Structure 1
Amino acid sequence: MKIYPVETGNFKLDGGAMFGVVPKTIWQRTNPADHNNLIDLGARSLLIEDGDRLTLVDTGLGNKQSEKFFSYYHRWGNFTLDSSLNKLGFHSDDITDVILTHLHFDHCGGCIKWNKDRTGYEPAFKNARFWTNENHWKWATEPNAREKASFLTENLLPMEESGQLNFIDRKDSTMLEKSELGFGIRFVDGHTEKQMLPQIKYKGKTIVYVADLIPTVGHIPLVYVIGYDTRPLLTLAEKERFLNEAVKNKYYLFFEHDAHNQLCTLKQTEKGVRLDRTFTFDEVFN
Structure 2
Amino acid sequence: MNLYPINSGNFKLDGGAMFGVVPKSIWSRTNPADDKNMIDLGARCLLIEDGNRLILIDTGMGNKQSEKFFGYYYMWGDDSIDNSLKKYGFHRDDITDVFLTHLHFDHCGGAIQWNKDRTGYEPAFKNANFWSNTDHWEWATNPNAREKASFLKENILPMEDSGRLKFTKLPEDNMLKHSALGFDIFFADGHTDKQMIPMINYKGKTICFMADLLPTAGHLPLPYVMGYDMRPLLTLNEKEKFLNMAADNGFYLFLEHDAYNEIITVKHTEKGVRLENILTAEEVFN
TM-score between both structures, scaled by the size of structure 1: 0.99
Establish whether residue 178 from structure 1 lines up as the match of residue 178 from structure 2: yes
Q: Aligned to 2:208, what secondary structure does the other structure show? A: strand
Question: Which residue in 1 is equivalent to 2:155?
Answer: 155
Q: 1:204-283 to 2 correspondence within 5 Å?
A: 204-283=204-283
Distance in 2 (CA, whole Å) between partners of 1:284 and 1:125 is 27
Distance in 1 (CA, whole Å) between partners of 2:126 and 2:283 is 33
Q: Unpaired segments of 5 or more residues in structure 2? A: none
Establish whether residue 98 from structure 1 lines up as the match of residue 103 from structure 2: no
Question: How many residues in Structure 1 have an aligned counterpart in Structure 2?
Answer: 286
Question: Which residue in 2 is equivalent to 1:138?
Answer: 138
Establish whether residue 84 from structure 1 lines up as the match of residue 84 from structure 2: yes
Displacement, 1:228? 0.2
Greater alpha carbon shift after TM alignment, 154-163 vs 166-175: 166-175
Establish whether residue 284 from structure 1 lines up as the match of residue 284 from structure 2: yes
Displacement, 1:285? 2.3
Displacement, 1:87? 1.4
Residue identity opposite 1:17 in structure 2: A
Q: Aligned to 2:200, what secondary structure does the other structure show? A: strand
Distance in 1 (CA, whole Å) between partners of 2:285 and 2:3 is 9
Displacement, 1:203? 1.1
Q: Aligned to 2:43, what secondary structure does the other structure show? A: strand
**Root mean square deviation of aligned Cα:** 0.6
CA deviations 1:219-277 (Å, max 9, x no partner) are 01111000000000000011111111100000000000000000000011111111011
Question: Which residue in 2 is equivalent to 1:126?
Answer: 126
Distance in 2 (CA, whole Å) between partners of 1:155 and 1:147 is 15
Distance in 2 (CA, whole Å) between partners of 1:65 and 1:241 is 37
Displacement, 1:36? 0.2
Q: Unpaired segments of 5 or more residues in structure 1? A: none
Distance in 2 (CA, whole Å) between partners of 1:208 and 1:223 is 21
Q: 1:8-47 to 2 correspondence within 5 Å?
A: 8-47=8-47
Q: Aligned to 1:13, what secondary structure does the other structure show? A: strand
Displacement, 1:52? 0.3
Distance in 2 (CA, whole Å) between partners of 1:86 and 1:93 is 11
Residue identity opposite 1:123 in structure 2: P
Residue identity opposite 1:258 in structure 2: D
Question: Which residue in 1 is equivalent to 2:51?
Answer: 51
Q: Aligned to 1:136, what secondary structure does the other structure show? A: helix
Q: In 1, are the aligned partners of 2:7 and 2:84 still within 8 Å (CA)? A: yes
Displacement, 1:43? 0.2
Question: Which residue in 2 is equivalent to 1:67?
Answer: 67
Distance in 2 (CA, whole Å) between partners of 1:84 and 1:100 is 18
Displacement, 1:204? 1.0
Distance in 2 (CA, whole Å) between partners of 1:188 and 1:147 is 16
Residue identity opposite 1:92 in structure 2: R
Q: In 1, are the aligned partners of 2:10 and 2:77 still within 8 Å (CA)? A: yes
Q: Aligned to 1:107, what secondary structure does the other structure show? A: helix
Q: In 1, are the aligned partners of 2:190 and 2:234 still within 8 Å (CA)? A: yes
Residue identity opposite 2:11 in structure 1: F
Distance in 2 (CA, whole Å) between partners of 1:29 and 1:251 is 25
Q: In 1, are the aligned partners of 2:169 and 2:176 still within 8 Å (CA)? A: no
Q: Aligned to 1:102, what secondary structure does the other structure show? A: coil
Displacement, 1:88? 1.1
Distance in 2 (CA, whole Å) between partners of 1:142 and 1:18 is 24
Displacement, 1:42? 0.2
Distance in 2 (CA, whole Å) between partners of 1:195 and 1:232 is 14
Distance in 1 (CA, whole Å) between partners of 2:275 and 2:245 is 14
Displacement, 1:195? 0.1
Displacement, 1:173? 2.1
